Chain A
Amino acid sequence: MLLVRKLKIHIGPLLLAVILVVGLATWQLWASRSSGTLVSASSLPGVSGSSLPGLVAGSIAASIILFELLLWPRKRLRRFKLFPTKFWLSAHLWLGLATGPLAFIHSGYRFGGTFSTTLMCLLLFVLASGIYGWVMQIIIPKWMLGNLPFETIGSQIDDVSIQSALDARRMLTVALGPKPVGLTKLANLDEISAKMRGSSMVRDQDGQVSQIVVGAIQRRGDHRSLLKMESAEMEFNPLDGSEVWRQYASVIEPFLLRGIPLSKDKTNARSNRLSPLRTPRKANEWFGLLRESCSLNAGTILESLEQLCEQRHQFNAQRRAQAWLHGWIATHAGVSVMLGVLLITHIILALKYV
């Protein structure tokens, strides 16, 4: 049902694109046969951009390019009902693809001078980046669906990670007692934790009340927790307690909070590269060793912690996947704008000097 629906969206623009390309190519062929002349030895039989079919092809291609650029403002004007965005995108894809052949028809199947060659190269680059993005947007969501069951909203990864660390601390405190004195210091999450709990009196940095909130304050982070607190009700060996806390403070929590940073964040990159949890396989091995050093009862706690680390691994993978998924847009959009500027210049020059 959904597949049929999707086909319906694409069929119109696809047909239009095919009709435009085939129609203009045929017209051009027919026009060249009617004239019976070759424009130049290097070109195919037909006419140049200034001929009627060429001019029409060029005008249509230019209109399409300008229409393609309108997708950006359309996305910005989300609140208005300017026809569903899926139709815009479908038209953007198929008509955009048609611009390549139309440009070639317009140019008489040759690159021409420096300016028109640059313009054509830019167009080809825009098309290539668009096709690349299209392919990415087909492949990566499927991959994410199959491989990242813990996936969350990209912008919320840090918040969910902090929430996981807070959950883990609570679980360890309930199950094993408070963190023994003298172990590695835990990160100070009090402020973040207080922010998540919310308060009726919001204070600024100086401790002065900056806002008074009336009504129920929704606590964030209550809905998503991987931890099963039943495990906290079991009895644990005190020795396990100190060992698990030690490993948690020095290895697990830093990894949960920071994961493996993207290249921009150099601060913690080194420490995480050295983390025994840096890959899922290494994490599995490390937890295996930790399990051996603890008694059987600690297994449930360690299992929960391992699951949190697995979640963090998936978050890291999600970040990378999303970089692939959306990273190309900046290039595609930037080059498209350049193309638009050069296109307008081309039109002005053509109108002025031809």
Chain B
Amino acid sequence: MANEQELRDSVEYISASEEALFARGLDGQLIRATDSTLDDLDLDVRISIDGTKFAVKKAVPLRNSQGIIIANDRGEIIPRPTTIYDAVNQLYVKALGDVNPIPILCHREHLQPVGVCRVCLVEIEERRASGRVKKDLVSSCTYLVKEGMIITTSASQDQPKTVDLIKKSVGIIVELLASEHLTSQDLDDVRNGLNKHDPNELKRLVSEYGKGDKTPRYPPSLLAGNRGRDLSSEIISVNHDACILCQRCTRACNDIKQNDVMAREGKGYDARIAFDTDLPMLESSCVSCGECVISCPTDALTFRPTVVEKQGKKILEQTRKSSGKDGTVVTAEEMLEIPIFSGIPYKFLQFNGGACVRRVLKPGESLCTMGEYGSTAFLIQSGKFEIVVGAKSPNKSRAKVSKSVGFFRRALGLTSSSTLAPSLATGSDFGMTGTKEKLYRGVEDVILGEMACLNRQRRTATVVAVEDSEVIEIGTNVLYMLQRNATSRNVLNEAYRRHALNSDIERLPIFKELTPAGRAEAARIIAKDAELMSVEPGQSIFKQGEKSDDIYLIRLGYIKVGRKHGTREQIVSYVGPGAVDGASGAFGEIAALSSIYGSELKADLDQLDYLPGVRTSTCSALDHVELVRIKSSQLRQIADANPDFKQRLLDRARFLLKKDTERESELSTGKSSFVSQGLYNAQSLLVLDLESCTRCDECTKACADSHGGETRLVREGMRFENFLVATSCRSCTDPYCLVGCPVNAIFREGSKEIVIEDHCIGCGQCATNCPYGNITMYGHQEGFSGEGKMQIPLIQQKATTCDQCKSIGGTPRCVYACPHDAAFRMTGDELKEAVLSRKPW
């Protein structure tokens, strides 16, 4: 138990004049809750939960809705205090299928807790600052753990009276909510036994915690049933009577999607959710992304039935088109029966009906092919798969289809997307010659192919069934939903980490001169303690002058290397995977190697006035970067067992130090713009040579003519010397636009082009994500709103981006139609070369 002094130390005392708005009383003292510090992440708090002594960290890393740890600009993790709900989760939920015994309604793991519904009650026993021990019922989602706290949940076996008290209290809360917000039909449903997949969480709680006969004990207010509905939107219907004001929708809209449309309006019984300045939903700036609907625990926000039906049909059509006939659609109800999906909202699965496909494979059939892009992952249901790394597997089936199109149709550009688009994972392209190494995966590995979805890169292996197998193919949007739940996220992360480390370490250039046995041993040593790090754009990995001796291997993304000259930081270079000086595939080596071999390198270090183990530059992420952090001690361990490797490391350290001596700042406006505009990331820029371009707009007209009158390029953009980088999709190596699509309508499959399918709901998430403005929203008429003479054309917005004419045969018409040979498609590096050939930066 904490003593009084410890408790007093844990709060910050303030004077009356400093009394803040959110100050609260603690035994007569005014206090302000202090922010968590980085030290709290390592500080143990001893508590007892349902009789089990347990230690949790005082703070946990702040995460975003996808479970990605958020860091500040300095690259430091932002801590947030551990709540009772977090602690109970840690104790009770360890594997898929485990359930946290605390009921929740307004809270969800991926949302910031607000504690408005008070359903997550637990009893706590804690010693207050006065020394008295006090018992209290508190909301676990907001109450923080404290040293010595005794927590009793409704799952306690030893405290039946307390459990009864908690259940009764929760029962009162949910019955009060039910009397006000459930209809008689809802209550009948509760009485008659709920449908297992009923999305109304309030009904479930009433069924579980309400009074035995389930008849309302409390009379509703006069306003109940008269709060009205907002049926103005064609996508979402709003029933204010069913709204319990849990704020899940507003947090989803504002915090997760950052649309900032929804808020709470009014006070007391008049309080309700509102759109913009309390406008009807249709007239507001709502983008109809559906995040509020899938977050709503009641029937207050629902998709219009016609929309669910229409959307389901479109997705099904798309799935059939891309998957062929070898899959059967898995329904929302079936999905929820699988433990890993149990945390996904029913409404989400319903809205994405047809997106998940059950696929049965025979031995020898391949699931996905190395080197191709993919937007689906595979949950293994049964069977065994061989992972083939290093096999070159040309897609024979695709080549065959292309040939069958015929010369004239191809010449006239009359091929359609369905004939030339690569198959999703048809297995007909199985080619195993040249196999170097084989790994096997089974049901225990849970998932395959998730790396390509989550890091948006090419598949790193070909996966082939070795026995009769069954998988469920899921889209990236379903994976994102799985990441919102800690348990399924842990399963995914573990699989990802295992696959990522296995696939990468052995192939690193730094180990290429080791013998195969030496490489395998090095991989074993590194994989044991190596940390897979994810760094978000703008965050620094390390700073110049810091003392640290880790070495980093870039898996994905690009980093910027900067060095301070006076007060100004100048970009020295930008580097990507395998593109670091000397192509070792690593960076941060000077500090690491000088730390290990300080004495051997003393002369070289003294010459540069460098200190061993001190960073000589600042490295920060330019985009989504994944790194493998290796401790210098691991490198030393490998080198100690292999003198040649040690000598190679020393040579490399000397080479890098020499290079550092010679290196002059290479900053120029050109390079700075090149980096800030993300051109290093571009795989297919539309570049116009302004010396030859006569501004005839044939490129734009050709684009519009080929795509139903909608141009996918704008002849405007950044200029580099005489080249204009037009506003048109660049097929980035790490496309931001693919992140967060709620219906998986934007993806790339097979080749590098980004494709947006017809089931796009026009929420504009991809357009917002694209930093270069290369996605345009166009309206398409989809029927009418209203009836009879009151019919008004209904325009459905859809995102449109350049697919480099993949859908019409594959030759970009903008380049094809340019009469002056002024339009080119090139990579960022090719552009750099072209610019450098005119004028060195």
Distance, CA A214 to CA B780, complexed state (A): 10
Q: Indicate which residue in A85, A141, A145, A211 contacts B793 across the interface (CB closer than 8 Å).
A: A211
Instruction: For the complex formed, measure the closest distance between the CB of A339 and the CB atoms of chain B, giving whole angstroms.
Output: 21
- Complex contact A212–B701 (CB within 8 A): no
Q: Tell me the bound Cα distance from A233 to B783 in angstroms.
A: 48
Chain B nearest Cβ from A323, distance in angstroms: 12
CB-defined contacts of A144 to chain B, threshold 8 Å: 690, 695
Q: Given that A86-B818, A214-B288 are known contacts, is A141 also in contact with B694, CB under 8 Å in the complex?
A: yes
With an 8 A cutoff between CB atoms, is B715 at the interface?
A: yes
Q: Is the CB of B694 within 8 A of A85?
A: no
Task: List chain B residues, Cβ under 8 A from A352.
Answer: none
| Interface pair B702/A78, CB less than 8 Å apart | yes
Q: Which of A5, A78, A213 contacts B779 (CB 8 A)?
A: A213
- B690 and A215: CB pair below 8 A? no
Contact: B818 with A85, CB < 8 Å? yes
B291, chain A: closest CB distance, angstroms? 13
Total count of chain A residues near the partner, CB < 8 A: 45
* B529-566, CB < 8 A from A: none
- Measured in the bound complex, the distance between the Cα atoms of B287 and A144 in whole Å is 41
**Contact with A81, one of B284, B410, B820 (Cβ below 8 angstroms):** B410
- Which residues B800-823 have CB closer than 8 A to chain A? 808-809, 811, 813, 815-821
Task: Please tell me if B798 contacts chain A, counting CB pairs below 8 Å.
Answer: yes
A211, B795: Cα distance in complex, Å: 7
Task: Indicate with 1 or 0, residue by residue over A22-54, a CB within 8 angstroms of chain B CB atoms.
Answer: 000000000000000000000000000000000
- Closest B residue to A142 using CB positions: B691
Residues in B neighbouring A211, C-beta threshold 8 A:
779, 792-795
Given A1-B834, A216-B767, residue A153 in contact with residue B716 (CB < 8 A): yes
Check B797–A216 contact: CB distance below 8 A: yes
Cα–Cα, bound, A89→B822 (Å): 12
Query: Which residues from A are CB-within-8-Å of B200?
Result: none
With A86-B821, A137-B820, A218-B767: A325-B796 Cβ-Cβ less than 8 Å: no
Partner pick for A75 among B414, B764, B794, B819, CB 8 A cutoff: B819
Q: Which residue of B lies closest to A85 (CB)?
A: B819
Contact-residue bracket for chain B: 35 or more
Q: Mark B1-36, 1 if CB is under 8 A from A, else 0.
A: 000000000000000000000000000000000000
Residue from A1, A79, A201, A223 in contact with B282 in the complex, judged by beta carbons closer than 8 Å: A201
B795 touches A78 (CB 8 A): no
Within 8 A of B (CB), among A181-237: 200-202, 209-218, 223-224
B-chain residues with CB within 8 Å of residue A200 when the two chains form the complex: 282-286
The answer to whether residues A214 and B797 also contact, given A78-B706, A86-B820 and a CB cut-off of 8 A, is yes
Residue B521 CB within 8 A of the other chain? no
- Of residues 150 through 189 on chain A, the ones whose CB sits less than 8 Å from some CB of chain B are 152-155
CB distance from A46 to the nearest CB of B (A): 37
Assess whether A2 is in contact with B762, with CB atoms less than 8 Å apart.
Answer: no
- Per-residue interface assignment for chain B, residues 708 to 750, with 1 indicating a CB less than 8 Å from any chain A CB and 0 otherwise: 0000001110010010000000000000000000000000000
Is B776 part of the binding interface, using a Cβ–Cβ cutoff of 8 Å?
A: yes
Known: A85-B817, A141-B692, A326-B696. A79 touches B705 (CB 8 A): yes
A346 at the interface (CB under 8 A from B): no
Q: Tell which of B701, B819, B837 touches A88, judged by Cβ atoms closer than 8 Å.
A: B819
- B694→A325 contact, CB < 8 A: yes
Given A9-B821, A81-B816, A200-B283: A153 in contact with B714 (beta carbons within 8 A): yes
**Nearest CB of chain A from residue B626's CB, rounded to whole Å:** 30
Smallest beta-carbon distance B231→chain A, Å: 13
Do B792 and A212 touch (CB < 8 A)?
Answer: yes
Given A141-B691, A145-B722, A326-B696, does the pair A79, B762 have CB atoms closer than 8 Å? Answer: no
Q: How many angstroms between the C-alpha atoms of A217 and B796 in the bound complex?
A: 10
Q: Mark A79-100, 1 if CB is under 8 A from B, else 0.
A: 1111011101100000000000
CB of B442 closer than 8 Å to a CB of A = no
A1-26 residues with Cβ-Cβ distance < 8 A to B are: 1-2, 5-6, 9
Given A85-B698, A145-B690, A200-B283; A214-B235 close (CB under 8 Å): yes
Partner of B820, one of A89, A217, A322: A89
Judging by beta carbons under 8 Å apart, are B837 and A1 in contact?
yes
Given A141-B691, A145-B722, A200-B283, answer yes or no on A214-B795 (Cβ-Cβ < 8 Å): yes
Nearest-neighbor residue (CB-CB) of A149 within chain B: B719
Please provide the chain B residues from 284 to 298 with a CB less than 8 Å away from any CB of chain A in the complex: 284-288
B413 CB-CB contact with A under 8 Å: yes
Contact bitstring A122-155, B, C-beta under 8 A = 1, else 0: 0000000000000001001110110001001111
Q: With the chains together, A79 CA to B805 CA distance in Å? A: 10
Q: Is the interface of A mostly helix, strand, loop or mixed?
A: mixed
Taking a contact as CB atoms closer than 8 A, the residue among A84, A141, A218, A326 that contacts B816 in the complex is: A84
Q: A78-B705, A215-B797, A218-B776 are in contact. Are A209 and B792 (CB under 8 A)?
A: yes
**B317 contacts chain A at the CB level, 8 A cutoff:** no
* B761 at the binding interface (Cβ < 8 Å): yes
Residues of the A chain whose Cβ atoms lie less than 8 Å from the Cβ of B824: 2
The residue among A9, A145, A201, A209 with the most chain B CB atoms within 10 A of its own CB is A145
Chain B minimum-CB-distance residue to A145: B690
Expressed in whole angstroms, the Cα–Cα distance for A230 and B551 within the complex equals 40
> Contacts A79-B706, A80-B412, A209-B792 given: A215-B764 contact, CB under 8 Å?
yes
Whole-angstrom distance between the Cβ of B479 and the nearest chain A Cβ: 23
A212 to B783, CA, bound (A): 11
Q: Which residues of B contact A78 (CB under 8 A)?
A: 698, 701-702, 705-706, 813, 817
The residues of B that contact A326 with a CB separation of less than 8 Å are 694-696
A350–B795 alpha-carbon span in the complex (Å): 60
Could you tell me if A214 and B692 are in contact, using CB atoms closer than 8 angstroms?
no
Closest Cβ of chain A: how far from B304's Cβ, in Å? 11
A153 and B711 CA atoms in complex are apart in Å by 14
**Distance (whole angstroms) from the CB of B290 to the closest CB of chain A:** 11
Contact with A along B462-494 (1 / 0, CB 8 A): 000000000000000000000000000000000
- A81→B697 CA distance, assembly (Å): 18
Give Cα A55 to B827, complex, Å.
51
Query: Within 8 Å of chain A (Cβ to Cβ): is B763?
Result: yes
Q: Is B693 an interface residue (CB 8 A)?
A: yes
A290 CB, nearest partner CB in chain B, Å: 31
Q: Please give, as numbers and ranges, the residues of chain B lying within 8 Å of A9 by CB-CB distance.
A: 821
Candidate in B233, B690, B714 with the most chain A CB atoms within 10 angstroms: B690
A141 touches B695 (CB 8 A): yes
Note all chain A residues with C-beta closer than 8 A to B763: 215-216
Decide yes or no whether B201 CB sits under 8 A from chain A. no
Structural contact, A322 and B698, CB atoms closer than 8 A:
no
Chain A contacts of B782 at CB under 8 A? 214
The complex places the Cα of A215 from the Cα of B690 at a distance, in Å, of: 36
| A81 with B411: CB separation less than 8 A | yes
Q: Does B503 contact A (CB under 8 A)?
A: no
Query: Which residues of A have CB within 8 Å of B797?
Result: 213-217
Residue in chain A with minimal CB distance to B772 = A223
Q: Which residues of A contact B283 (CB under 8 A)?
A: 200-201
B413 touches A81 (CB 8 A): yes
Question: Which residues of B have CB within 8 Å of A141?
Answer: 690-695
| B411 touching A224, Cβ below 8 Å | no
Q: From B838, which residue of chain A is reached at the shortest CB distance?
A: A2
Q: Which residues of B contact A201 (CB under 8 A)?
A: 282-283
Closest CB in chain A relative to B78 CB, distance in Å: 28
Tell me, in angstroms, the Cα distance from A217 to B824 when the chains sit together.
Answer: 31
For residue B230, CB closer than 8 A to chain A, the reply is: no
**Can you list 22 contacts pairing A with B, beta carbon distance less than 8 Å?**
A2-B824, A78-B705, A78-B813, A79-B808, A84-B815, A85-B816, A85-B817, A88-B819, A89-B819, A141-B692, A141-B694, A145-B691, A153-B714, A153-B715, A200-B283, A211-B779, A215-B761, A216-B764, A216-B797, A217-B777, A218-B777, A326-B695
The 4 closest A-B pairs by CB, nearest first: A215-B762, A216-B764, A215-B797, A78-B702
Query: Known contacts A81-B809, A217-B777; can you find 17 more A-B pairs with CB under 8 A?
Result: A6-B821, A78-B698, A78-B702, A78-B813, A79-B702, A85-B817, A141-B695, A144-B695, A154-B695, A154-B697, A200-B284, A201-B283, A211-B792, A212-B785, A215-B761, A215-B798, A322-B695
